[in-house]
Each structure stands twice: as structure tokens, then as C-alpha cells.
């Protein structure tokens, strides 16, 4: 029962994380590019204010749930859950040391205007975003595989026991 709950929390939180980052990568970044710079900076700043707590909480829950799943499993499943946990932590580290410092710059630009060469900095933000999106999606995919194969292993084991 505990393994099922842990698996559910891990899937939900990792799925929300991958979905949020994926939505940002596909839709928000395209939207950012389509609007005037002042609109992008204002919206980006407002978005980061609301995203901070939500995304940090989602990353923490996803990492802890994947870690708990690793503790509750053995062998290859433990390795896969641990790898998923590591990928979520990588998403956090990329965010914290890549995107967040640039978000701070963007916040200043929204008030004072962007400096010369701002395009390269925004491009770097997008690269960090693509990296954290990739690590989050891969973590989610690993957890989906883990849960699907765990259920299949139980069914196979139950069939063998009843034969």
C-alpha cells in the first residue's frame, strides 16, 4: 500500500513538474518571443513571482517522492528511482543557478530597460529552461516506466504463483 501511494505521489509531482516546464518551453517561450520586449519583461517578472513557491514545492515533492520510492524498492527499480530523483534535483540546480539569477536581471530590466546584448542573456535563460525541462521530462518518463513495470511484475508473479 505504501509503495502505491509513494508511486502515485512521485508520478503526480514529477508529471506536474515536467508538464509545467514543458508548457513553458513550448508555449511561454514562443509567446515571449512574439511580444514587444517591455511586455515580455513585465510578464516574465510577474510570472516568476507566482512561479517561485509553486515550482520549488513541486520540485521538492517530486525529489522526495522519487527518493522514497528508491528506498522502498530494490535492484534496478531502486537505481531507476534514484536516477529520477537525481534528475529532479538537477532540474532544481539548473533553475537555482541558471534561471533564477537571470530572472533577477530581468526584474531590474523591467524597470530600467534592457542593456545592450540582452538577447544573449535571454537566450541563455532559454537554454537553461530547455535543460531543466529535459531533466524533468526524463525523470517523469523513468517514473512512468518504473510504475508500469512494477505493476507488470506483480501480475506476472501472481500468475506464476497461481499456476
Instruction: Answer yes or no: is 54 within a domain.
Output: yes
* Confidence check: pLDDT of 161 > 90: no
pLDDT digits (tens, 9 = 90+) for 98-147: 999 999 999 999 999 999 999 999 999 999 999 999 999 999 999 999 99
pLDDT at residue number 4: 93
Say what the pTM is.
Answer: 0.89
What is the domain extent for residue 46? 2-153
Tell me how many domains the chain contains.
1
% helix / strand / coil in the chain, to the nearest 5?
A: 95, 0, 5
pLDDT at residue number 96: 97
pLDDT at residue number 150: 83
pLDDT digits (tens, 9 = 90+) for 6-58: 999 999 999 999 999 999 999 999 999 999 999 999 999 999 988 989 999 99
Which grid coordinates are listed for 117?
Answer: 546584448
Instruction: Answer yes or no: is 10 within a domain.
Output: yes
Q: Which residues of 7-25 are buried (b: 16+ CB within 10 A; e: fewer)?
A: bebbbebbbbbbebbeebb
* Confidence check: pLDDT of 155 > 50: no
Amino acid at each position: 500500500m505504501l509503495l502505491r501511494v509513494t508511486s502515485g505521489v512521485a508520478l503526480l509531482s514529477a508529471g506536474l513538474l515536467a508538464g509545467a516546464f514543458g508548457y513553458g518551453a513550448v508555449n511561454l517561450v514562443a509567446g515571449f518571443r512574439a511580444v514587444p520586449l517591455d511586455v515580455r519583461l513585465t510578464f516574465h517578472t510577474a510570472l516568476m513571482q507566482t512561479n517561485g513557491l509553486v515550482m520549488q514545492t513541486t520540485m521538492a515533492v517530486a525529489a522526495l517522492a522519487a527518493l522514497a520510492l528508491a528506498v522502498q524498492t530494490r535492484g534496478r527499480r531502486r537505481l531507476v528511482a534514484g536516477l529520477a530523483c537525481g534528475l529532479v534535483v538537477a532540474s532544481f540546480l539548473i533553475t537555482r543557478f541558471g534561471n533564477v539569477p537571470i530572472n533577477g536581471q530581468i526584474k531590474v530590466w523591467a524597470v530600467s530597460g534592457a542593456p545592450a546584448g540582452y538577447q544573449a542573456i535571454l537566450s541563455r535563460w532559454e537554454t537553461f529552461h530547455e535543460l531543466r525541462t529535459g531533466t524533468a521530462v526524463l525523470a517523469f518518463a523513468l517514473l512512468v516506466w518504473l510504475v508500469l513495470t512494477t505493476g507488470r511484475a506483480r501480475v506476472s508473479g501472481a500468475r506464476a504463483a497461481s499456476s
